[in-house]
Amino acid sequence: MGGRFPGDDGGGMTTSDTTTTAPETDAAVRTVAPASVAAAVLHRAGRAVLTILVAIVVLTLLWTALLAVFQVSTFVGKSPWDVWQYLFVDQPPRGVRPASLTAEAARAESFSALATTLGNAAIGFVSGMVAATVIAIGMVSWRPFEFAFLPIAIALRSVPLVAMAPLLLLIFGQGTLSIAVIAGIVVLFPALVNIVVGLTGAPQQAIDVVRVNGGSAARALLVVRIPAALPQFLASARISVPGAIVGAMLAEWLVGFEGMGGVLSYYNGTGNYGGVWTIVALAVVVSIVLYELMTIVEAALLARWGPEAGLAR
């Protein structure tokens, strides 16, 4: 077991050298990696909190300014303060909330709808990411599959989701399944493109090393391509979270029975414009928060398993 690797000259590393130094390397990773991961998470968490606060302040100012610039009627256009009163003030000014609706009932309706939408969006997000990953692996591993699926993907992508949604509701029914399918389609295509780029961008030299040592294409996929695609996969997950919420709300709007989309449709039909603005504000804030939470998860995973995970130890 003390021989040299093929092609080594007199100064090459021997297999015995590799055997003796590997435990030391592994020990360094085990002892130092948790600290570096924690540092990355804390740094990213601080930035995430700051980003959320700045985004909310900027959106609030823009919201107020646009209502004033376009002179939107107070009957239809509600300010951030109106939304606050809609949810938390027992006796708000007239027109902010229907007289028959208490603040407690308004909160119950709004946050119950939010919970339903988050559940639907989670199903769509997971199914969309899983489908995108499986399809991307199939396209990279087997060219005939790429040629067969690509026209279908282009056709589906070229049709607006608003036009496609009624057909999907007819196929999958007006329930959670159809909502999850629509949310999954919103997630699928952007994630698919990014993951394919990550898989095809794996270092060719590393793939050649696997093949020279007798590894199969599946082995190269497992140990080279998939780890190399981790940054693109996590970026896809991060940008897909708001899309999953939008897709779920669109489906709920068309179904009209549940979630923020359904409540939004109901409020709009009954003239409860305070409720409409409240639902939209909740959707925006939750999307921003979830996006920033995904950046923290992304930072943690990349610090532990990303391309530069071992450079700082």
**CATH number of the domain that 218 lies in?**
1.10.3720.10
Whether 185 maps to a domain, the answer reads: yes
Whether 215 maps to a domain, the answer reads: yes
Whether 200 maps to a domain, the answer reads: yes
Q: Which amino acid is at 200?
A: T
Q: Which two tokens mark 260? A: 């923020």
As to burial, measured by CB atoms within 10 angstroms (0-12 exposed, 13-18 middle, 19+ buried), residue 90 is exposed
Whether 311 maps to a domain, the answer reads: no
Which residues touch 136 (CB under 8 Å, ≥6 apart)?
192, 195, 196, 199, 229
pLDDT of residue 309: 61
Q: How many CB atoms lie within 10 A of CB 86?
A: 25
Counting the structural domains of the chain, the total is 1
Does this model's pTM top 0.75?
yes
* Mean pLDDT, the chain, integer: 85
pLDDT band at 27 (very low <50, low <70, confident <90, very high): very low
How far, in Å, CA of 1 to CA of 19, rounded?
10
Average pLDDT over residues 36-47: 87
pLDDT of residue 20: 39
Instruction: Give the range of the structural domain holding residue 226, as residue numbers without chain letter.
Output: 29-305
Query: What are the CA-CA distances from residue 201 to residues 140, 207, 212 (Å)?
Result: 11, 11, 19
Residue-wise pLDDT for 138-156, tens only, equals 998 888 888 888 888 888 7
Whether 130 maps to a domain, the answer reads: yes
Average pLDDT over residues 79-92: 96
Whether 16 maps to a domain, the answer reads: no
Q: Which amino acid is at 223?
A: V
Q: Which two tokens mark 69? A: 């610039």
pLDDT of residue 22: 37
Q: If DSSP codes are grouped into helix, strand and coil, which group holds residue 307?
A: coil
Average pLDDT over residues 21-45: 61
Whether 19 maps to a domain, the answer reads: no
Whether 275 maps to a domain, the answer reads: yes
Identify the CA nearest to 52 among candidates 236, 245, 286: 286
Strands (E), the chain: none
